[in-house]
Amino acid sequence: MWDPQWTFFRPRYRRVRWDWRGFGDTPHVAGPFSYADDVIRVLDALDIERATLVGCSFGGAVALQVAVQHPDRVERLALSGSGVPGFVSTVADPPAVQDLLRRAEEAWSNGDAPAALALEEQIWLIGPGRRREDVDAVYLHRAHSLLLRADRPDEGAVHVDADWSSLDLLPTLVLPILAIVGDQDLPGLIDSARYLAASCPGARFELLKGAAHLPSLEIPDTFNHMLDAWLEETAR
């Protein structure tokens, strides 16, 4: 999903991307694990002392956890469509969005994967307020192929950080943070990005027009130039 950024930032930055356990080609392994610990292991294996972490959705929430628990390893955070662990938005999703979420959960519970994936596509890739024909077909095909490879069966793995909360620790994050969200994303996630930007001393909120949950993939030129300008501005 980071192909557009991988190419754009090649000339000036050392870039690392990794395949999460349980996503893409990496299976889960039975037993307890922490995605945040996995990030640190990757940095250690590559002899990277400090890094700017860029994450989308749950990946951004994990990047935030790494920054809180290992502040000496994180230089900056760019978080796109990310939830804030422990934060519950007071902005209610419209009834139509609540209905989509409920139907998707029911479809998964009933083992109806095609119906569930169609609903997930509407929620996350298209956006609950848009129609399929409103969205670029090339982007949607690419994003759908990624959706099919996401969140594999846990195979006995237990994520130990499932209930971790960052709320009390956000004011301690004294590093540059970019809180990005598409204007077609879920209202609760837009609120979450605003909350993050308001809670951290060095944070900035950016609302990108014309994108749902994956602006880095849907509007990569806009996303890349915005991120590039922020990286230049916050360079030490």
Both 29 and 126 in one domain: the answer is: no
Both 55 and 164 in one domain: the answer is: yes
Q: How many CB atoms lie within 10 A of CB 123?
A: 19
- 182 - beta bridge partners? 208
Angstrom distances, CA of residue 166 to CA of 79, 121, 188: 14, 29, 17
- Tens digits of per-residue pLDDT, 118-160? 999 999 999 999 999 999 999 999 999 988 877 666 788 998 8
Both 122 and 43 in one domain: the answer is: no
Among 184, 187, 19, CA closest to 98: 187
Both 14 and 84 in one domain: the answer is: yes
Question: Where in the sequence is the domain holding 200, given as residue range(s)?
Answer: 3-91+157-234
CA angle 209, 210, 216 (to 5 degrees): 90
- Tens digits of per-residue pLDDT, 41-67? 999 999 999 999 999 999 999 999 999
Both 86 and 109 in one domain: the answer is: no
Both 144 and 40 in one domain: the answer is: no
Both 142 and 169 in one domain: the answer is: no
- What CATH code is carried by the domain that includes residue 28? 3.40.50.1820
- Tens digits of per-residue pLDDT, 161-207? 888 888 888 998 999 999 999 999 999 999 999 999 999 999 999 99
Both 31 and 13 in one domain: the answer is: yes
Q: Which residue has the tokens 């996303």?
A: 223
**CA 73 to CA 16: how far, in whole Å?**
15
Both 61 and 32 in one domain: the answer is: yes
Contact predicate 115/107, CB 8 Å: yes
- The stretch 215-228 carries a mean pLDDT of 98
Both 125 and 142 in one domain: the answer is: yes
Both 169 and 73 in one domain: the answer is: yes
Both 30 and 80 in one domain: the answer is: yes
Report yes or no on whether pTM surpasses 0.75.
yes
Q: How many domains in the chain?
A: 2
Give the type of residue at 206.
E
